[in-house]
Amino acid sequence: MAYFYDEPSRTFSEYLLIPGYSGTQCIPANVSLRTPLVKFRKGEEPALSMNIPLVSAIMQSVSDDNMAVSLAKEGGVSFIYGSQPIEEQAEMVRKVKNYKAGFVTSDSNIRPDQTLADVIALKEKNGHSTVAVTEDGTGTGKLLGIVTGRDYRVSRMPMDKKVSEFMTPFDRLIVAFDGTSLKEANDIIWEHKLNSLPIIDKQRNLISFVFRKDYEQHKENPAELLDSSKRYVVGAGINTRDYEQRVPALVDAGADILCIDSSEGFTEWQRIVISYIRDKYGDTVKVGAGNVVDSEGFRFLAEAGADFVKVGIGGGSICITRETKGIGRGQATAVIDVAKARDEYFRETGVYVPICSDGGIVLDYHITLALAMGSDFCMLGRYFARFDESPSNKVMVNGNYMKEYWGEGSARARNWQRYDLGGAAKLSFVEGVDCYVPYAGPLHDNLQTTLSKIKSTMCNCGALTISELQEKAKLTLVSSVSIVEGGAHDVVVRDVKQ
């Protein structure tokens, strides 16, 4: 007969951390969130580590090159989505690896024959006040001028006024040529009291901008994650269908780490993909695998050669796998079980295979719980989809700004490779939904708040590192009544306008 587990599977919200002794050194400023990204042998350092325990999900609505750069600045890694043509994904990887910190490719561009109305529409769409005027209206065209908020007054100018009539023309601009260092560019900005400095080539084609505001921001990102060549670290998703073509293209583009994007990883298909990578590249190409929810699944992927293992089936906010197929496991229980298997495998072999909790994160403290339960890092979709840096559209819904967000198993994504079981190349039914999430603004500000909460909670537990948290953490189950007790209750909360 079928095997039955004695205990129910549980979610993060069913647990609380019990405070532990905190010494005088246990303050958030002393907490390190550095964590291994790939497997390593006992006594050795991992080939790849992160400065924060967060990666962005392999999703069309979450992880593109823009998100990858933004998250690498904070110390994490984005896995650029694989449900797109191979060359387009490889190009996104190349953009991240070729990105020069402080040099921003212009995404707000306009032709001189367009109008003030077009400028206003572009500003509303992208939120940028600096618009490059190029001959062909692209970010790499011949630079003819710049439009900023100081060049026009909406109340005194007709909407059909041509851009060429009110832009700041090229002969009045201060520019720098390709090859200028970031320090030199910032010196020019400060010397001439500029807000932005265009970088052009010898043919006057626009290459990038350096902004005054980014100087301070660069100083605020001491945790940025760089490779040995001082380029941002980036990951990419692959599938079990076209890996023989996709993997070489992504490796050639410079991807630092790959991850098999699948709803269920305890399959021979994943072993085949990992074997292909090991046969072709040895250990030089790093690849994560998953997803699994128990010790048996972890052991299978670890022995297959995975560099990390993703944990979680059906726990994502946009995932309906459990509803549709009745398969999965509560995320907290899955993480606890797999973490035990990871530790056992480490004791047996001397090889530590990091695990990634994927799904089930609703509140910031769930991240800390996942880490305490044994996760080395967490993969987040909904969390990152809310920010300016995600690739989805910002829209107005019932008077509130929202961001579009859809699952890779939805009809919109059409990502049949993620649910491939060796059958027809199509989605027979959906396992994800198409929805909206509340718009939250810039990634940096929100992420710093989240990291502050994690560090503060770790100090409450007497831990200054993630491994110390896992060693010292004490967790308790909570009843449904105590969950109510944990929030504001039996009061009328004042709605105070700030």
Alpha-carbon distance 294 to 436, whole Å?
Answer: 31
Cα–Cα separations (whole angstroms), residue 385 to 275, 441, 478: 33, 10, 30
Locate all alpha helices (DSSP H) within 291-402, ordered by sequence: 295-304, 321-325, 331-349, 364-372, 382-385
Cα–Cα separations (whole angstroms), residue 174 to 192, 197, 437: 8, 7, 41
Alpha-carbon distance 291 to 417, whole Å?
Answer: 14
Query: Torsion angle, CA of 475/478/484/487, rounded to 10 degrees?
Result: 0
- DSSP letters spanning 22-72: --TT-SGGG----EESS-EETTS--S-EESSSEEE-S-TTT-SHHHHHHHH
Could you tell me which residues come within 8 angstroms of residue 149 by beta carbon, excluding any fewer than 6 positions away? Answer: 129
CB 22 within 8 A of CB 465: no
CB 269 within 8 A of CB 240: yes
Among all chains, which residue has been given the structure tokens 């991850």?
259
Could you tell me which residues come within 8 angstroms of residue 375 by beta carbon, excluding any fewer than 6 positions away? Answer: 53, 311, 335, 339, 355, 356, 357
Alpha-carbon distance 413 to 392, whole Å?
Answer: 12
Alpha-carbon distance 173 to 308, whole Å?
Answer: 50
Residues annotated catalytic, as ranges:
319, 418
Query: Torsion angle, CA of 247/351/71/97, rounded to 10 degrees?
Result: -40
Alpha-carbon distance 52 to 400, whole Å?
Answer: 31
CB atoms within 10 A of CB 226: 14
Cα–Cα separations (whole angstroms), residue 26 to 34, 326, 416, 458: 16, 44, 48, 9
